[in-house]
Amino acid sequence: MSATTLKIPTTITVRVDGREYSVTRGTRVKAFLRRYLPELEKDCLGATLWNRLVALEAPIAASCDMVPITYASKAGARIYRATLTIMLCEAAARLFPDARVQVGQALGNGYYFDIFKEPAISAGDVAAIENEMRAMVERNEALATMRVPVHEAVEAFGVQGYHSQAQIARTFREGWVNLVTMGTHINLWMHPLLPTTEGIRAFEVRPYETGLVLSFPPAGRPDDPPADIGDQDALFATYRETRDWNRLVGVETVADLNRSVVEGGIGEVIRVAEALHERKLAALADDIACKRGCRLVLAAGPSSSGKTTFVKRLRMQLLAIGIRPKELSTDNYYVNREDTPLDENGEYDYECLEAIDLGLLNTHLDSLMKGEAVNPPRYSFTTGTRTFRPEPLQLGPGEVLLIEGIHGLNDKLTEAVPDEGKFRIYVSALTQLCIDDHNRIFTSDARLLRRVVRDRRYRGYSAAQTISRWAKVRAGEKKWIYPFESHADAMFNSTLVYEAAVLKVFAERFLMEVPESDPSHVEAVRLLEFLDLFVPIFSTDVPATSILREFIGGSSFQY
């Protein structure tokens, strides 16, 4: 039998916006753009090949469709921000070799960083970091990437005192670790990056609290100076509280979480995390009791924050101090799907305020505040229709009404109730767990994973459908929720330090169902790569009253 020789063509076809180009196999994305699409090269930060996000230095290994990625896209913004984060860590390492840099979460259009050093960081130190970063851009410094064995990466991190990076590298199962360096600082390479600082245009580094904030240009406008982050005191305090909680349970990074799972200590981590939620809920119940004349408690926040379970658990805490609450969900006041307003693309806009039947809701609220009975509707997300329940709802003396929904902080939703009769709570999953000291977890990823699991299990939507809608959901949040954060009387962070490891058990399968040909595959792959970092936790240890049960099932509450 004669052997068949596999012949691999040296020329491949790259399709961009319907046009085809014949190129040599292995041509790098940046070289392709420079030769064939020079008008795009300046603004391009990366590309998608086969619906996978890659860096500009990635080789094109086979015929494919290419989509150039710019700062106008979420993926482009991530590349830009990840590159600037590496630059900031490098600048701090050059200027303050003994300092510890720890990335935090988003504040406004920027990231907060703690800089631990002696003496404490000053405004002059922050200015020096920014000046060094601008000098990097002037020198067009390279971000050199490499692939090394795990033991070499662990050794390199140990020499530099980067213990969290060493811990996460030990969990890599492939035996190899991707690293990036700009000369002094060696870091894990977790996201596509720019090959040099040439593509960096605008940014700012400013002192904030005990650290600094790295601010980015506005969305889609990489040449514009970053906007002021505004008043973030309440949000920052919530972040700080959660980071303190994480330190209390001994889990500040993914590596810490993985170690607790492997060593058998995850049960206690779960119990303490849930107990901290319970203590916060009890404190909120006390605050409500102290507000004289309060009859309406509003829990509002972005999608998949666990508002429904939050309200049910708050109800138990109110009962425990002698306040009798009733519940009402604005989700049940959605107009029928066929009556939902359309967005600029002619698609249903479920995020806008007018998707709620405001007239009916306020009529019911007015009646309830007067002690009259009403018959609330029930909305089916599967059929997109509303029916009315036969059982009436009525508020008696001393009772309060609990309402949850994304628009709860907007007074137009509940204009039938005077301001002095309301207590508003902003609920969101504001994760403070980081991958390591220099690689953060995107705050919205916790909510997206929750929504992927819930929608697939209970609402009849595939992961691809959920991901495809996510950009519209996020746009709605920026328009209808975040502008009203300052109206809140209190904030509740619904994230749980261990939840990604539990969601992994469910989400991995659902994300793998996304076809490679689907545009959502780009995001599905990113989320799968993120979940790869976690040792899975089975849901048996998750309490039946946990907010997480709203998404994975098995709750003791009825929804």
Are the C-beta atoms of residues 299 and 408 closer than 8 Å to each other?
Answer: yes
Please provide residue 38's backbone torsions phi and psi, each rounded to the nearest 5 degrees.
Answer: -60, -25
pLDDT in tens, 144-176: 999 999 999 999 999 988 888 998 998 888 889
Express each pLDDT in 424-479 by its tens digit: 999 999 987 899 999 999 989 999 999 999 999 999 899 999 999 999 889 889 89
Residue 315 identity:
R
Q: What is the pLDDT of residue 5?
A: 67
- Give the number of C-alpha atoms closer than 13 A to the C-alpha of residue 181, restricted to the C-beta side: 13
How far apart are alpha carbons 261 and 167 in whole angstroms?
Answer: 14
For 436-513, where are the E strands, in sequence order? 490-493
Q: Are residues 216 and 252 in the same domain?
A: no
Q: Tell me if 189 is assigned to some domain.
A: yes
CATH of the domain at 498: 3.40.50.300
> Do 21 and 139 fall into the same domain?
no
Q: How many Å apart are CA 251 and CA 242, to the nearest integer? A: 11
Rounded to whole angstroms, what are the CA distances from 551 to 117, 261, 306, 547?
Answer: 41, 21, 8, 8
pLDDT tens for 355-398 read 999 999 999 999 999 999 999 999 988 889 998 877 899 999 88
Q: Verify that 539 and 434 share a domain, yes or no.
A: yes
Q: Say yes or no: 303 and 431 in one domain.
A: yes
Q: What is the DSSP string of 366-418?
A: HHHHTT--B--EEEETTTTEEEE-SS-B---TTEEEEEE-TTTT-GGGGTTS-
- Where in 29-92 does DSSP place strands (E)? 46-49, 52-54, 64-69
Residue 3 domain flag: no
Looking at the fold, whether 131 and 280 belong to one and the same domain comes out as no
* Claim to verify: residue 364 and residue 475 sit in the same structural domain: yes
Give the range of the structural domain holding residue 89, as residue numbers without chain letter.
75-230
The DSSP symbol for 425 reads: E
Residue 559 lies in a domain: no
Contacts of 483-489 spanning 24+ positions with Cβ under 8 A: 484/300, 484/409, 484/410, 485/234, 485/235, 485/409, 485/426, 486/231, 486/234, 487/409, 487/410, 487/411, 487/424, 488/234, 488/300, 488/409, 488/424, 488/425, 488/426, 489/287, 489/291, 489/423, 489/424, 489/425
pTM over 0.75: yes
Percent of the chain with pLDDT over 90: 80
Residues 372 and 513 in one domain: yes
Out of 44, 70, 96, pick the residue that ends a domain.
70
| Residue 518 located in a structural domain | yes
C-alpha 345/C-alpha 180 separation (Å) is: 41
User: Which of 240-244, 264-268, 432-436 holds the top average pLDDT?
Assistant: 264-268
Q: Of 190, 80, 252, which is closest to residue 526 (Cα–Cα)?
A: 190
Residue with tokens 């119990």: 271
Q: Is the pLDDT of residue 7 over 80?
A: no
Q: Does residue 79 carry a pLDDT above 50?
A: yes
The helix (H) or strand (E) run that includes residue 299 is strand 296-300
Residue 123 within any structural domain of the chain:
yes
Same domain, 511 and 406: yes
- Look up residue 215 and give its amino acid: S
- 194 inside domain: yes
How many angstroms separate the CA atoms of 78 and 112, rounded? 16
Q: How confident is the model at residue 4, as a pLDDT?
A: 61
Residue 208 confidence class, pLDDT cut points 50, 70, 90? very high
Q: Are residues 211 and 241 in the same domain?
A: no
- Whether residue 417 is contained in a domain is answered as yes
Distances (CA, A) of 353 to 6, 123, 191, 349: 60, 43, 36, 9
* Residue-averaged pLDDT of the chain: 93
Q: How many domains does the chain have?
A: 3
Check whether residue 203 and residue 83 sit in a common domain.
yes
Q: Reduce the DSSP state of residue 300 to 3 states and report it.
A: strand
CATH number at residue 168: 3.30.980.10
Residue finishing a domain among 178, 208, 230: 230
Cα dist from 103 to 107, 213, 253, 441, 442, whole Å: 12, 10, 11, 10, 11
| Residue 134 domain-assigned (yes or no) | yes
Which of 176, 206, 230 finishes a domain? 230
Looking at residue 179, the DSSP 8-state letter turns out to be: E
Contacts of 329 (CB under 8 A, 6+ apart): 308, 403, 404, 405
Cα–Cα distance measured from residue 306 to residue 324, given in angstroms and rounded to the nearest whole number: 22
Which residues have C-beta within 8 Å of that of residue 1, sequence separation ≥ 6? none
- CATH number of the domain residue 52 falls in: 3.10.20.30
Using the predicted structure, report yes or no on whether residue 70 has a pLDDT greater than 80. Answer: yes
d(Cα 463, Cα 449) in Å, to the nearest integer? 9
> 64 and 96 share a domain?
no
| 148 and 251 part of one domain | no
Mean pLDDT of 249-278: 94
CA–CA distance from 58 to each of 18, 30, 49 (Å)?
22, 8, 10
